[in-house]
Structure 1
Amino acid sequence: MKVGDVELRDDVFNVKVKKHILWEVVKWQLACRRQGTHSTKTRGEVNYSGRKLLPQKGTGNARHGERGANIFVGGGVAHGPKPRDYSYTLPKKVRKLGLKMALSDKAQTGNLIFVDEVNVGDAPKTKKAVEFLKNLGVDKEKVLLVLPEKREVVIKSFRNLPNAKVLPVEGLNVYDILWSDKLIIEKPAIELIYKRVEA
């Protein structure tokens, strides 16, 4: 497969896209990102006396125990959430296949752009980042830039732009690829992407 003047491997950039695989990988990614710190108090944890509210018989009222029972306002929660880990394992094969499919989707829909270098000068400048996107004609779209390695100057230049993300090859993931309208890859990063999906 060819994009511009770049020859690409069909086993990475021209794979048949299956929505279900992409859905599985994105679901796994978002589950792993969840903090899982939500918490509610059970009836054993609320700050009330354990004394019986009123006598069991003879008052004409319903039978009640302590004030912290879950049927009372301010009482404990019966089956509320507790801190937990939402992450689970997804087979490596599926994760790699998902990455190939996400890249293939961008290539097949013509939303893949290759550049020699993302050049924004020696110091971080958002203005230079906007100029770079304008020159490519993608300043109005959501853009993901992929670099061969982490470069602070580029990351800091783009981080104030709400519709631009910068990732090194090692951080490339299905969710961010699908989030973007255009995927911009530096040419030196191609070989590293091949290694990433083979490793």
Structure 2
Amino acid sequence: MTTTGRRALLTAGISAAAAAALPGCSASEEPRPRKPGAAEVEAERVARAEAALRLRSVTASRTLLERYDAALAAHPALAPRLTPLRRSVAAHTKALGEGGTTVRPATAAPSPSVTATASIGVSASASARPAPSPVHAAADPRAALEELAAAERSASDAHTAALVTAPPEYARLLASVAAAGAAHAYLLTEGARA
């Protein structure tokens, strides 16, 4: 082979290699998102489950707080008895919502339909929640106390049931709040008779 032949062959080879490489360098082609690993997918699943658990727990406590507000509005004479319990429920609601989790998808290119932020705080926007139906207290003060006690037991039962799936630190908090709810139910009914 002559020098000219070798140069022509070399030039043709370089041209072919460059032509093959150019489509990969094209600005119109976007990089492919990497596929998440099993550990990332599992971590996302756990974070979503914890966010849902926190939301349910905060919602149960907020509902209880609304019942206290309705009872206090209907029966102002019960304020000395109900205000300390209401204050405790408000503190529990805040504690259950603190440290909310933010869930991000495990893929490198997040899509708006997959990205979910579940940061749960007591001051969550009202637009994010459906408008609650107004809570009314019984006209009779004794019946209103019975309703509050039943609501305390219901919230306590919900927190106790959530212990099974809660992460350890949150489970301890749920157990404390559930125990306080049981004590509140006693104070609202049996404790008044003693």
User: What range is the shorter-chain TM-score in?
Assistant: under 0.3
More strand per residue: 1
Q: TM-score, normalised by structure 1?
A: 0.22
Larger Rg: 2
